[in-house]
Structure 1
Amino acid sequence: MEFYIPTETGEFLAFCAAVATGLIGLFALFAPGTALRLAGLQVQEASREGLAFVRSAGGFYAGLAIVALMMAQSWIYMAIGGGFALAAFGRILSLLSDGSFTLKNLLVLAVQAVLAALPLGYAFGFI
Structure 2
Amino acid sequence: MEFYWPASSGEWLAWISAAIAVLFGLILFFAPGLSMKLLRLAPAGGRPEAFASIRATMAGFHLGLGLSCLVFAQPFLWLALGAAWGFSLFGRLISIMSDKGGTFYNWGAVVLELLLAAGPLLFAFGFIA
TM-score category, normalised to shorter length: over 0.9
C-alpha distance in structure 1 between counterparts of 2:35 and 2:2, whole Å: 32
CA offsets per residue over residues 25-56 of structure 1, 9 Å max, x none? Answer: 11101111111111111123352221111111
| Equivalence for 1:31 | 31
**Helix, strand or coil at the partner of 1:6:** coil
C-alpha distance in structure 1 between counterparts of 2:126 and 2:24, whole Å: 26
**Helix, strand or coil at the partner of 2:84:** helix
Q: Which runs of 4+ in 1 moved over 6 A?
A: none
Number of residues of Structure 1 aligned to a counterpart in Structure 2: 127
| Equivalence for 1:66 | 67
C-alpha distance in structure 1 between counterparts of 2:67 and 2:97, whole Å: 34
Q: CA RMSD in A?
A: 1.0
Task: Name the aligned partner's letter for residue 108 of structure 2.
Answer: L
CA offsets per residue over residues 68-105 of structure 1, 9 Å max, x none? Answer: 10101111011110001011001000000101110000
5+ residue gaps in structure 1?
none
| Equivalence for 1:86 | 87
TM-score where L is the length of structure 1: 0.96
